[in-house]
Structure 1
């Protein structure tokens, strides 16, 4: 027994070395790390079955009470047996791959042991197959991929070796020889197999830990790249945004060139081969067209597979990913390499993850664009509305004046024309000069005052420096209209004041009236939601505040101060330094 233990440790070391070398293979690491389909199970059966065969060949022959340390490569005599680590490989295979792998590896190793003969051949063959089945069932029940699961695997491996000793005593004959053999080999085989299982499981746990660490780093890297590219992909697929994205991807991956296309042309290409992969030109590779047609990732490992029309193209391998929106390929992301093996497995998984993230970003960008267009359409519809009563009343007023005061009627017709022109202008543009908005207000008031002379008066105090400041159209006119229709009920004469000035980095526009005012509850609702009442819905104030929030965000302010019978003051503050940005935002709504 004392002589057998170190020799068995030496032979077990061979299997451990083979296991370590296997753990360095990417294909084996991927099989260990992933759920197993039938193809991977067949590979595991083969691998761990071969472990059993190696164990048989490296076993130590026991002849009567003698231990023969020579390498064993042939059959056994009827009075001989072997001590080996066959159960270890089969048990690990079963625990790792489940019942199918355990049974398969057990059959390979067990039948091979049976072919060696010896008076323990049948017992060892049967015990090996049983060990594969039992460990496979236990592997399905207990997940050995969990942290610290190696101790559980060691206990199972030791128990399987104990079962083998019991089967030898039950089946092997003569019983006296079997009993003597078990006394010699039981402790060394149980010890060595337990130790070997422990080392093997540490190797597997190391593989899983490294894969988890790699996956975490990949996720962090992918999210970092996605964060950098998000502001550009939010602009959609266009030449300017794609150039920035391609530069970022080239910098943070191992690619030698990066291209982004839509369905029809190259939008950007940075890195090698920029001389003939030219943006805004038709696509140079047939591989890209294939990805757009099929919507699947395609890899090329040779120049022929890339199918570039230039024979001297330096790009030798590539991976092309579809960029999708609503499950339809709207473009491609291409990473090129000058080496045929430039894309590692880690990089491939990273790129695939980026493709999914970029597709999500493009979907969000499209959803955001559609949302803005929908809001814009709603706002335009509100802006373009003209109250029919106002139109009819204006026409009736002008019709009456034609007979009594033709000059005044002509002036009112011009004001009505200017009013409609302002309506159309506001429906086409998101920002107009303050001076144009004041003209709109003046046209409206001229028509109203012709109907109700001396019912109200309007005063304007506008600083010259702010007349060209851009503001959203229909900002002041609806406020004045609200005052005319709602603030001056039961009043002999109303007063409306409009004041505009610049204070520090803000432009303040204030409208005040001396009307009936409103309650605190009404004030809180106006501008934040529409309300249903006999006096109106508050749509105009909601519309104004919504557009200001959409364009300027928290940089702007919309404030209503009012008390019953004390009038209403509405103050709009717009940031001076956001004027250019606001103009660009307005343009973006139409360019999308």
Structure 2
């Protein structure tokens, strides 16, 4: 028994080495994040190869109970048996990909065992399939909301899997074989399954922590650089941004360009990469021309014509607005080296956020040339104070819940993307506006959990057109002003209905109401109050009257049990794509 234990431990080591190599592959880690048909198909293929290896690397046991340890078992007499780690692979497949993949891997493992065993012992097919299914089902039940069960449950399920296998062996091969293999296979396969899953959990945990660090770095840099992008990309803003990035990272040089000239270059090589002079490196010219990220690991790839340029490796990302490249973000090292995943993702994240901020800045400038009232409305939406509060909230969540922080970052991205996309439109669909409201309230809910609920009562199609940011302004006003001193039980109801070929929009809350002195001025002028200026409602009211006439002017009713904002506009539907074409 001891010799068998040592030999099986050696085989287990082979499986563990293969498992370690497997989880180091980004492709495999992406497959286990979410169960889709594609991912489960790939996992079935991968674990099927593993289960075949487990059979081939087994320890043969003759009919006289003599242990035979070839390097690879390719065939054996029907009277012989084999001790291996097949159940370990089936167990981990079930826990990783679910019961159906576990069953299929068990089927492959059982069939392969029967084939090279001289087409004997068909019970291995049944036992392997049964183990794959049961472990997968039990695993899904005990893991709750986690990706995998706890270590204790993994050990228990692995033990149960081996006990099922032992029951089949006892029923069909008798007690003599069980006496020899029971302890080694039970012990090693249970330990092996637990180790395999622990390796996966450790790597995934480290990856989430790495994402948290990357997100935190990007947010810190964004918080510092955001004010400089408010008025576009120029020499002054670029110099400040490059200096901040240089201070917060370990890059040897940081640069920003427009399509033609260097706007700023801080660090190594700044003696010849000079602001307000043409871009001179071939790498930057290629990125600006093609609009695609490029990396370089040698001086020749960077293509700087200055012979003494110290820059040796680089990553250059395009800055794009409305799918047009307007410049590039460049980061360099003076040593010939490949950048880490953290460094690459940091640069990409910065380039994406900078592009978004530049787009917002350009949108503001363009809108100001068209209509002052509309730019006021847009500026209210793109509120730096709200943005900074959101960043602080995400930063706090990093310490306690990385998944919620990631969710909040996606909501913030949706909020600003909608601002950019819809800010130039006088009217957008109800569906678009609801997405924008959802992004806004999602972020506010993270800041103030359980403080408010938003309910819709809608009897018009989601293709109905309404003024852009209309609902969001009402909801924001309620959240900020209606529920003073109340942390729970606050409700906002959004009601849209058709009335005589018009659309009636009503947003109500169960707050404390509006003071009479403020009510008569609200929506008619900006109000100098410590809790807000009323600019958003004032601009919205101006837009409503400008778009639809005085009949659409805001109507406000208030009392101690709440406030309602109402407007009535023409009922219109967005044109379908087929009609537009």
TM-score (ref. length: structure 1): 0.54
Report the more deviating stretch, 105-114 or 221-230.
105-114
Q: Which residue pairs with 1:257 in the alignment?
A: 253
Change in 2 beyond 3 A, CA 1:17/1:332? same
CA offset digits 1:111-166 (Å, max 9, x no partner): 55445325756544664466556666777886795365444444443444344445
Whether the 8 Å contact between 2:32 and 2:96 is mirrored in structure 1 is: no
Structure 1, unmatched stretches of 5+, are 380-520, 532-538, 551-592
In structure 2, relative to structure 1, the CA distance for the partners of 1:200 and 1:293 (3 Å cut) is same
Partner of 1:579: none
- The alignment partner of 1:355 has SS state of helix
Partner of 2:158: 157
Cα 1:180/1:543, change in 2 over 3 Å: closer
Instruction: Provide the rounded CA distance (Å) in 1 between the counterparts of 2:298 and 2:106.
Output: 42
* SS in structure 1 at match of 2:320: strand
Whole-angstrom CA distance in 1 between matches of 2:61 and 2:50: 21
Which residue of 2 is the match for residue 85 of structure 1?
85
Partner of 2:389: none
1:138-537 aligned at under 5 Å gives the runs: 146=147, 148-165=149-166, 168=169, 175=172, 177-178=173-174, 180-292=176-288, 295-301=291-297, 305-308=301-304, 314-369=310-365
Q: How many pairs are equivalent?
A: 391
Q: Is the 8 A contact 1:114 1:122 kept in 2?
A: yes
- 1:524–1:143 CA distance, 2 compared to 1 (3 A): closer
Residue in 1 that maps onto 2:441: none
Equivalent in the alignment of 2:51: 52
Secondary structure in 2 aligned to 1:66?
A: coil
Higher CA-based Rg: 1
CA distance, structure 1, for counterparts of residue 334 and residue 121 of structure 2: 57
Change over 3 Å in CA distance of 1:340–1:158 after alignment to 2? farther
The corresponding residue for 2:472 is none
CA–CA separation in structure 2 for the residues paired with 1:58 and 1:157: 20
TM-score by structure 2 length? Answer: 0.55
Q: Decide whether the 8 Å contact of 2:62 with 2:68 is kept in 1.
A: no
* Contact map agreement 1:81 1:119 (CA 8 A) in 2: no
Q: Structure 2 vs 1, CA of residues 29 and 289 (structure 1 numbering), >3 Å: closer, same or farther?
A: same
Please give the alpha-carbon distance, in whole angstroms, between the structure 2 residues aligned to 1:207 and 1:342. 22
1:235 deviates by 3.2
* 1:419-465 CA distance string (max 9 Å, x none): xxxxxxxxxxxxxxxxxxxxxxxxxxxxxxxxxxxxxxxxxxxxxxx
Distance 2:320 2:61 in 1: 66
Q: Distance in 2 between matches of 1:522 and 1:195?
A: 73
Structure 1 equivalent of residue 419 of structure 2: none
2-side partners of 1:144 and 1:89: how far apart?
23
Contact 1:145-1:205 at 8 Å conserved across structures: no
CA shift digits 1:270-302 (9 cap, x unpaired):
233434433223333454455445544343445
Say whether the 8 Å CA contact 1:322–1:329 is kept in structure 2: yes
Question: Offset of 1:316 from its aligned partner?
Answer: 4.1
- Looking at structure 2, the residues matched to 323 and 333 of structure 1 have their Cα atoms a distance apart, in angstroms, of 7
1:122/1:351 Cα in 2 relative to 1: closer, same or farther (>3 Å)?
Answer: farther
- Cα distance between partner residues in 2 of 1:315 and 1:129: 59
CA distance 1:342–1:140, change in 2 (3 Å): same
**Distance in structure 1 (CA, Å) of the matches to 2:287 and 2:307:** 22
1:15 aligns with 2:15: yes
Deviates more, 1:298-307 or 1:184-193: 298-307
The runs of 5 or more residues in structure 2 that have no matched partner are: 376-514, 535-581
